[in-house]
A and B are shown apart, each in its own frame.
Chain A
């Protein structure tokens, strides 16, 4: 018999660590996503009833899995309607799964689930939502709040995605080797999208929304645990941890964004930075560089500098050069311009900015004139800087950014 608070804490802990495992297993053996979620839910409800009375089981994971499976067997038996063949298949699989439940790595059901949730035949918003629902255990209304859409909209999105998985027979498996690199990129993109969504949440935003960063990092950790030899998975995890470590310094008391340069570095989470650096080291040791690892490496350069003035801009400029070779994106090129300007002087950066302006690809992107303005200001060409700041102000999408630019404009 445990103290009721201890038991509730144990159930909450089991929910965080085991929900995805139980759901992923039940989906594999029953082939039915809704049934899997409902039976997993039932098992956790039962744990809240039983554990205070019977004590916390020695293996909470095993208890939950068995309880959820028994519930599924029960429900499938009682299903009068429906496809007899489906029912038989489910019952058959439920009978002989024992040996496969504790598999780790590539045989882990959670990895199958991750790849299926992030299948490119599903719309991206649905990929993100399905991942949060089935692997992280967020409820539909929590996911709706996190993405600021009505619960009904989110529920429809989930129903439609599950319907497509069923009707079009989206496979429930880790893709074969020849598809793996592309499909893994899709999984990483979903986790990163989740992180970005949380990262852009304001301090006043719903707590679920603010917690998206933590959820993304948790999923990143899980992926790394299941695929320890994938350097880009390690790179993504490292990058997310580094950005997250700087979060406390990112917004000032008034709620305004603080640029990296002006952040109070004492607020950074040193322990998290240390761990993230070690994760990146693991990735680099695998000797297969990629965009996430490079972005993590750039973030480590910033994190390693005790003051903004100590930043190794030459190294950052070189990392951006390598990143631009891999990802020919104008935004990466613009970031590179900033780094080059810091390393080799504003004129060198301005050359890259002008090349970008001539290409016309970022014509409506406020950070292009903002960067130009900044470099011109540093060169003492204030009149030209003023024109560029005004152009940036016209294009800036948020109040916080307009306030920031207006402040700069007043300085020239």
Chain B
């Protein structure tokens, strides 16, 4: 279909969609990782910092979703191998830092996602893994 259209007509049709900040933002998962032996329970200052971050990102209309997760002591890992289900206590990998929560954000590009990631309060004591969503 598109091959039969002239370039000029495509320009007219697609101009809006190709403008920066237009209809095709990227989605990124910002995975919050921290050492859960060091960050335990709730802490009023931390809660407030996260609330401020979420307010700012909601106002900017970039926040699609996100949750804090309970520690890996409550995690269960499920694998199915050769048709058999294997259930194990604990996270999928034993590492120093564990995934503690995530945000889903809408951004123009990686720089936008990095800028938001750096503002997550946990970036100051843990790390944030920025992963683009595999759009289909």
Contact = CB atoms under 8 A, between A and B. Distances in A.
Contacts of A92: 7, 10-11, 14-15, 18
Given A89-B17, A121-B110, A73 B2 contact: no
Given A77-B3, A171-B108, A88 B14 contact: yes
Contact of B110 (A77, A87, A94, A171): A171
B10 A95 contact: yes
Contact of B109 (A73, A94, A171): A171
A91 interface: yes
The SS class assigned to the A binding surface is helix
B43 interface: no
A89 B20 CA distance: 12
Interface size, A (range): 20 to 34
Contacts of A179: 111
Nearest to A166: B132
B44 to A, nearest CB: 31
B57 interface: no
A93 interface: yes
A4 to B, nearest CB: 37
Nearest to A178: B115
Interface in B90-136: 108-111, 114, 130, 132
Given A94-B7, A95-B10, A96-B11, A88 B2 contact: yes
Interface in A61-101: 73, 77, 84-85, 87-89, 91-96
Nearest to A171: B109
B26 interface: yes
A174 to B, nearest CB: 11
A73 B18 CA distance: 17
B8 interface: yes
A120 to B, nearest CB: 9
Interface in B26-81: 26
B109 A169 contact: yes
Contacts of B15: 92
Contacts of B111: 170-171, 175, 179
A88 B17 CA distance: 10
A372 B13 CA distance: 72
B14 A73 contact: no
B65 to A, nearest CB: 19
A168 interface: yes
Interface of B: 2-3, 7-8, 10-11, 13-15, 17-18, 24, 26, 108-111, 114, 130, 132
Q: State the 3 A-B residue pairs at the shortest beta-carbon distance, nearest first.
A: A171-B109, A169-B109, A95-B7
Given A84-B2, A169-B26, 14 more contacts: A73-B7, A87-B2, A91-B11, A91-B14, A92-B11, A92-B14, A92-B15, A93-B18, A121-B114, A167-B132, A169-B108, A171-B109, A171-B111, A179-B111
23 contacts: A73-B7, A77-B3, A88-B2, A88-B10, A88-B13, A89-B17, A89-B18, A91-B2, A91-B10, A91-B11, A92-B11, A92-B14, A93-B18, A94-B7, A95-B7, A95-B11, A96-B11, A167-B132, A169-B26, A169-B108, A169-B109, A169-B132, A171-B110
